[in-house]
A and B are shown apart, each in its own frame.
Chain A
Amino acid sequence: SSELTQDPAVSVALGQTVRISCQGDSLRNYYTSWYQQRPGQAPVLVIYGKNNRPSGIPDRFSGSSSGNTASLTITGTQAEDEADYYCNSRDSSGNHWVFGGGTKLTVL
């Protein structure tokens, strides 16, 4: 299967921890990347590889994976973390990429 499934929406109280999940068969074989997209802006890479953050991404963002599920965890969520989050990985062929449907994170 080449699909990645995400919950459409998740909410979290300010300062609390939230986990955003992504499910797909290809995740058993390939790493997942995570992108943050604020309204009207281009996506920004926040997690890649096993659990790596690009320069400038706060360490409250972390990634993990088990079986066919990958997760993005935000510890101590801030108001500016309110955004859409997309997971991304290769499909079973290894040559094509697929995005999850996205999760809208609301910070209460």
Chain B
Amino acid sequence: QLHLQASGPGLVKPSETLSLTCSVSGGSISTTDYYWAWMRQPPGKGLEWIGSIYYSGSTYYNPSLDSRVTISEDTSKNQFSLRLSFVTAADTAVYYCARGSMIRGVNGAFDIWGQGTTVTVSA
């Protein structure tokens, strides 16, 4: 059973860089069948896709965050990570990591999600 666990500092100061890691257990991130993604949800608001990373190493980011976001992977640790620079209070949210499926017929849906980690941006 695949399990995703997001972790990182719960408090980040404005203008600094938010860094989160998603640890994957029960399966390898090095697979062409799946890709890996970050989403977030500000308090009381809806879900927002942040970006995705594929087996090839290709990354795609939400255009509204593209200049501040980097998603990377560490296959030796079976983890992938999110860095969001120059954060403001608007970046306060629950951050989720998730698996996207490349399997035929699933059409890229996010089929497994981590439990989420809360990040607050405040001085």
Listed in ascending order, the chain A residues whose CB lies under 8 Å from chain B are: 30-31, 33, 35, 37, 41-45, 48-50, 52, 54, 86, 88, 90, 95-102
Contact = CB atoms under 8 A, between A and B. Distances in A.
Given A48-B109, A52-B105, A101 B46 contact: yes
A90 B115 contact: no
Nearest to B49: A97
A100 B48 CA distance: 9
B41 to A, nearest CB: 8
A23 to B, nearest CB: 15
12 contacts: A35-B47, A35-B110, A42-B96, A42-B113, A43-B47, A54-B111, A88-B47, A90-B108, A95-B60, A97-B52, A100-B46, A101-B46
Which 7 A-B pairs give the minimum distances between C-beta atoms? Answer: A48-B109, A33-B109, A97-B49, A42-B113, A102-B46, A99-B47, A31-B107
Interface string B44-75: 00111100100000001111000000000000
A81 to B, nearest CB: 19
A63 to B, nearest CB: 11
A48 B52 contact: no
Contact of A49 (B48, B52, B107): B107
B14 interface: no
Which of the listed residues B96, B108, B116 has the most CB atoms from chain A within 10 Å of its own CB? B108
A35 B37 CA distance: 15
